[in-house]
Amino acid sequence: MKSSRDSLLQVFKLLLVSYGKQNWWPVDREYHRKEGSDPREEIVIGAILTQNTSWRNVEKALQNLKRVKALSFKRIIDITPEALQELIRPAGYYRQKAVYLKEVAFRLYPVSKVEKVSREELLEIKGIGRETADTILLYAGNRPYFVIDAYTKRIVKRVFGIEDNYEGLRKFFEENLPEDIELYKEFHALLDEHAKRFCKKIPQCEGCILTQLCTQPLR
DNA sequence: CCCCAGGCCGCGC
DNA sequence: GCGCGGCATGGG
């Protein structure tokens, strides 16, 4: 009987060999060097904008913010709600997200707070749910919290036959993986890539590299 | 026309 | 605790 620990690491290694390093989270370091802002601010802002939204649309919003040098907490706080709405419109839910961005920028200013803020404190901020909290903690705070998203839930259900709520799945990963921040970052990114390529809503199992150890391979 | 995309909130139960 | 409707743009 293989342990979950062995299987999880095996899945990680297979995905890594198959797809290569993903190097999440993408940030424009050159922009922040010039403007004197912090790349971690872009990660937090992107984490809000990408909620249930394709990254392609998020990139349009991020470009708009850069164009007016507003990709920073300070500018997000000072800009009018209406102006912020228009800049992030391509990312969808723009009225809600404008409120969320202002609240998050205010509460996490300066961005160095991501080094110390607790998960519970993040979850008290309107607009930050479990996934966004863990995304901020892992990718901006460089802290060992495993991010669970819809893709992760789908793959875990099919490959391991496990269905659980968010916290249950997070513990499944954190308790069965070495506490390695770079591993957490890369694994999450690889799971997303795999879900997009093969483990779609309607699974495309032909050519899937995980078929051998998957509990529910089709065909 | 349809469905989907790197969720969250507020509500009812 | 879980399920649901609302939120919105852009691509396939």
Domain residue spans of chain A: 4-23+145-213, 37-140
| Closest protein residue to B6 (Cα–C1') | A50
Name the band, by pLDDT with cuts 50, 70 and 90, for residue A218.
Answer: low
- Average the pLDDT over A79-99 and give the result: 98
Q: Which of A56, A87, A48 is nearest to A196 (CA)?
A: A56
CB atoms within 10 A of CB A66: 17
Q: Which fold has domain A37-140?
A: Endonuclease III; domain 1 (1.10.340)
Q: Is the pLDDT of residue A34 over 80?
A: yes
Q: Is the pLDDT of residue A219 over 70?
A: no
What pLDDT score does A217 carry? Answer: 73
Q: Is the pLDDT of residue A2 over 90?
A: no
H-helix or E-strand containing A173? helix A166-176
What pLDDT score does A21 carry? Answer: 95
A93 touches strand C (CB under 7 A): yes
Specify the higher pLDDT residue, A59 or A212. Answer: A59
| Closest protein residue to B10 (Cα–C1') | A126
- Fill in the DSSP letter of residue A108: T
Looking at strand B, which nucleotides approach a protein CB closer than 7 A? 3-10
- Average the pLDDT over A73-81 and give the result: 98
Residue entry with tokens 């992030």: A88
List the single range of A72-76, A91-95, A184-188, A202-206 with lowest mean pLDDT. A202-206
Q: Say yes or no: do domains A4-23+145-213 and A37-140 share a fold.
A: no
What CATH number labels A4-23+145-213? 1.10.1670.10
